[in-house]
Amino acid sequence: MNDITKETKEEKDKNIAQPKEETVQVSKTTIEAMQKTIESMKKTQDMLLSTQDKKQLALYFARNKDQLPTKMKLRMIGEKVIVGWSKMMTNDVYEVADRRWKEDQTVNVLFEDGKTEEMTYMNFVRRYTTVMCTRMGIVTDEKTGSIAYKLIRDDNAKEYIVDATFVN
C-alpha cells in the first residue's frame, strides 16, 4: 500500500469519535413561528404555576384578558348543564377503622333551568360529564367584582353566562 491511502489507527479513531453534525435549512418564518409558540407555552406554564385554585385563575384572567383560552368545558348531568353549586351542605369526613374513611358530603347543584338537586359529592363526581364551549365574552359584576363568561356550546349553539368558578 502506498502512504496516501493508508490511514493510521489514530486517524480512524479520530473520525469515529467525532460524528458529523447534520444541518437543516429552515425558513425564517418557521423559526419565528416556533419562537412564538415557545413564548406562548412559557406564558401558559407561568400562569399555571402561579394559579393554584379557580379563584386565583379567575383573577389572573381578569388581569390578562387577552390571554384567555377560547375553548372551555361546562359540566352536565344527564341533559342539563350545571351553572353552579353551593358549598358543601354537609362535609363530614372521618376515619372509622383500619385506615378506612367515612364520607358524608352533600352538595346542592344548580341547573340551567333554575332547578336544584341535592346529592352526595361522590354521586356528583361520578355522574357529571363535560361539554365543550367557545368563550364569546367576559361579564364582570361591578359590585362584587366576580367574573362570568359568556359561552356558546359547540354542539347546539346554546348560550350561557356562567361564573368563572364553575367553568373548566
Of the three residues 67, 94, 122, the one that is the final residue of a domain is: 67
- Same domain, yes or no: 92 and 60: no
What integer pLDDT is reported at residue 77 of this predicted model? 92
Report the pLDDT averaged over residues 39-48. Answer: 80
Give dist(CA 165, CA 118) in Å, integer.
19
- Same domain, yes or no: 49 and 91: no
Any alpha helices (H) in 20-167, and if so which ranges?
28-50, 54-63, 121-127
Q: Which three cell numbers stand for residue 78?
A: 344527564
Confidence band for 95, pLDDT divided at 50, 70 and 90: confident
Q: Is the pLDDT of residue 17 over 60?
A: no
> What is the pTM for the complete model shown?
0.53
Name the average pLDDT for the chain: 80
Helix (H/G/I), strand (E/B), else coil: 91? strand
Confidence band for 161, pLDDT divided at 50, 70 and 90: confident
- Number of structural domains in the chain: 2
Percent of the chain clearing pLDDT 90 (strictly above): 9
Domain of 58?
A: 26-67
Question: Are 115 and 121 spatial neighbours (Cβ–Cβ below 8 Å)?
Answer: no
Domain assignment present for residue 21? The answer is no
What integer pLDDT is reported at residue 19 of this predicted model? 61
Residues in Cβ contact with 30 at an 8 Å cutoff, skipping those fewer than 6 apart:
none
Report the pLDDT averaged over residues 41-63. Answer: 72
Give the model confidence (pLDDT) of 118-153 as tens digits: 999 889 989 999 999 988 888 888 888 788 888 888
- Same domain, yes or no: 48 and 120: no
- Same domain, yes or no: 120 and 83: yes
Percent of the chain clearing pLDDT 70 (strictly above): 79
Q: Is the pLDDT of residue 48 over 70?
A: yes
Confidence band for 67, pLDDT divided at 50, 70 and 90: low
Domain assignment present for residue 17? The answer is no
Q: Residue 38: is it exposed, middle or buried by C-beta count within 10 angstroms (0-12/13-18/19+)? A: exposed
